[in-house]
Amino acid sequence: MQIEWIIDRCNEVLFGYVKEQDPLSSLNIKELNENLTEAARHGMLPVVMESLSRAKILDPEKKKIVLKKYGASEKFIKKYWQRLDLMEQMALQFKKAGLDVMFMKGATIARLYPEPQLRVFGDIDFYMFGEDEKSILALKELGVETKEYFNHHTQANFDGVLLENHYDFLDRDNHQGNLLLDDELKRLAAEEGHHYPFMFENPEVDNAYSMSPTMNAIFLMRHMAVHFFSETVALRMLYDWALFQKKYANEVDWKNVKELYKKSGMPKFPGIIQGILISKLGLTIPECPIEPIYDKEAEGIWKSIIESPASNPYKKNSIRFLLFEARLFLDNRWKHRLVFEDENYWGLFFSYTWQYIKKKIAG
């Protein structure tokens, strides 16, 4: 099965688990192409290509496919270095304005990978310790114009890369459980936010930081849960979580974090994710105290991960497009119960609808 082949390649590169000496011998040309396409969908193509770079490819047709995907992988790697350069420019600009910046998500998680450029990421997400208005003015001096977004961050475009300036870590408008988590993340940012520097090669950059381990334990799990509800969980998110635990599990305030999971409406979801790491990815993180869960709901989540999500085939914002999105939202109700346990499902539906209408009116 293609997902198992992809997992074997990822486990080899990220955790040193070597399962087979010749990863191409068991695949025909069609299967190889499908597997590499699926790896790209999960955000793991550079990792898989790193594995294949160690193999001898004798079949000329297979070699042709690998070289083609290698080109796609190199584009992702090039984008990583481009984003890192933009982040350095931003940090220096903020320093000039007397501001500190905390980089989030892909930019910082990449540094948990054996080679950071193997971690695919698109947007640059950052938090300005409550100084988002001043940071908008600082970015304007670089020619970067900021636009309002419908919740928890503003957006800007910097050399073709989307910047998300988070005044809130999480969406406070649509999910009651996020209020508790966002408040705690801001408290931790104030107390621990300057303990984990984000280092650049340029020593002048001394005002950039990463989330603390406890912050990441809260944020990464909630971010994964939100993606699971709205779309699906990609393998990249699972490996992010596993690599994070491998390095920082012993530094997390798990008592606080586990209580927050429960109070925010996802008491079971983290245990299911932990169970999937063990039963499906073959990974064990003994330092993490989250009790793994293996049940029918876990199988349902795994199925939603390995099956390609249905894409909306209709023109954006057309009646058919909106009906398709509404149907998808209704079909995801079982997911909602797992990650927003105490929240009103129909209330969320009408909240999303009203926000869409307001956005259309604003034009």
Q: What pLDDT is attached to residue 249?
A: 95
**C-alpha torsion sign, points 270, 271, 276, 278:** positive
Q: Range of 131's domain?
A: 78-211
Indicate whether 53 and 7 sit together in one domain.
yes
Residue 240 counted as domain residue: no
Q: What are the pLDDT digits (tens) for 45-54?
A: 999 999 999 8
The residue out of 211, 236, 263 marking a domain boundary is: 211
Q: What is the mean pLDDT of residues 194-203?
A: 96
What does the alpha-carbon distance between residue 45 and residue 141 come to, in Å, rounded to a whole number? 36
Residue 182 counted as domain residue: yes
CATH of the domain at 130: 3.30.460
Residue 255 counted as domain residue: no
Place of tokens 């997390």: 252
Q: What is the pTM of this model?
A: 0.90
Indicate whether 53 and 92 sit together in one domain.
no
What does the alpha-carbon distance between residue 275 and residue 323 come to, in Å, rounded to a whole number? 35
**C-alpha torsion sign, points 93, 97, 103, 106:** negative
Question: What tokens does 335 get?
Answer: 């997911």
* Least confident range of 84-93, 218-227, 335-344: 335-344
Residue 137 counted as domain residue: yes
What mean pLDDT, rounded, does the chain reach? Answer: 90
pLDDT at 350 over 70: no
Q: What are the pLDDT digits (tens) for 128-184?
A: 999 989 999 999 999 998 888 767 688 999 999 999 999 999 988 878 889 999 999
Indicate whether 206 and 118 sit together in one domain.
yes
Contacts of 6 (CB under 8 A, 6+ apart): 35, 38, 39, 42, 44, 48, 235
Other beta carbons less than 10 A from residue 149's beta carbon: 13
Q: What percent of the chain has pLDDT over 70?
A: 89
Number of domains making up the chain: 2
Indicate whether 170 and 85 sit together in one domain.
yes
Contact, 221 vs 170, CB < 8 A?
no
Q: What angle do CA 270, 272, 273 make, to 5 degrees?
A: 65
Contacts of 329 (CB under 8 A, 6+ apart): 349, 352
Q: What are the pLDDT digits (tens) for 238-286?
A: 999 999 999 999 999 999 999 999 999 999 999 999 999 999 999 988 8
* Residues facing 146 on adjacent strands: 156
Q: What pLDDT is attached to residue 252?
A: 97
Residue 9 counted as domain residue: yes
What does the alpha-carbon distance between residue 227 and residue 229 come to, in Å, rounded to a whole number? 5
Indicate whether 154 and 103 sit together in one domain.
yes
